[in-house]
Amino acid sequence: MKKIKHEAELVKEAIAAGVKYGEERGVVKFEATDSQHDKIEYIYRLLVHDKVIAPLPEDQVSQKSMRHRLALWVARQLPRDHPLLK
Range of the structural domain that residue 71 is part of: 7-77
pTM of structure:
0.91
CB–CB of 19/39 below 8 Å? yes
Rounded to an integer, what is the distance from CA 21 to the centroid of its chain? 11
Structural domain count, the chain: 1
Which class for 17: exposed (0-12), middle (13-18), buried (19 or more C-beta within 10 A)?
A: middle
61 belongs to a structural domain: yes
Closest of 21, 40, 18, 19 to residue 31, by C-alpha: 19
Structure confidence at residue 22 (pLDDT): 95
Q: Is residue 85 part of a domain?
A: no
Domain of 39, CATH number, reads 1.20.120.1930
pLDDT tens column, 27-36: 999 998 999 9
Instruction: Return mean pLDDT, the chain.
Output: 94
